[in-house]
Amino acid sequence: MNINGIRPAFVIASSIIRRNLSQTSVRLSSKAYDYDGKTKIDIFNTQQELGIMITGYSQFGFRMNNDMVVIGPVAVFPRSLLSWNVNSVEDINEESLSLFTALEPKLDVLILGIGDQTPSPNISKEILSFMRKYKINVEVLRTEQACATFNFLNAENRMVATALIPPLHIAYNENDILGTSIRKFKEGF
């Protein structure tokens, strides 16, 4: 019923809700982003079909979405991982990167996580010039950003690998502490 051309508020609200619900339907997809312009939100670390995802890291190593914990530096590929024989950024050289140049099919991108150090132009320049010979794109990032970048590109089915060095220092926030407490509580039962 209209009163002087004004619709009651509950009719307007219900039409807005109906319109928004029809626009936010959930579709099954193997990708995190559908090309029709809609973004699908999922928790990566519970989806085994997306391959290996990095769900956590510490000063000692990394936790994967299949609950595997790897101690020390690691090379992670979409469906497998290897221990990476480096101790620090200074150990990254042509020999330590040769594994990534020998892969078939070729990588689209290699993401290097260099711990908690800020990437310097000198480190990046040496690595980039070597990998350029093999036509492999390289991103040199802090380990935290490298993990997130790898997970995103892997979910998009890109030919990606990451080589990660655990950070020496980790800044904790309230969410980290709460998450650890909840996980320990669940493991107790």
Average pLDDT value over all residues in the chain: 79
* Amino acid letter, 81: L
Domain range summary for the chain, segments of one domain joined by +: 44-169
Q: 44-169 has which fold? A: Hypothetical Protein Mth938; Chain: A, (3.40.1230)
Strand ranges inside the chain, DSSP E: 54-57, 61-64, 69-71, 74-76, 81-83, 109-114, 137-141, 160-165
Q: What is the pLDDT of residues 141-159, one digit of tens each?
A: 999 999 999 999 999 999 9
* pLDDT band (50, 70, 90) for residue 11: very low
Q: What is the pLDDT of residues 168-183, one digit of tens each?
A: 988 777 887 888 888 8
Backbone angles phi, psi at 146, to 5 degrees: -65, -40
The region of weakest confidence among 42-46, 79-83, 116-120, 130-134 is 42-46
Q: What is the pLDDT of residues 39-91, one digit of tens each?
A: 554 443 445 566 899 999 999 999 999 889 999 999 999 999 999 999 999 99
Identify which has the larger pLDDT, 25 or 85.
85
Contact (CB, 8 A) for 148 and 122 = no
For the record, the structure tokens of 155 come out as 């979910």
Strand ranges inside 19-143, DSSP E: 54-57, 61-64, 69-71, 74-76, 81-83, 109-114, 137-141
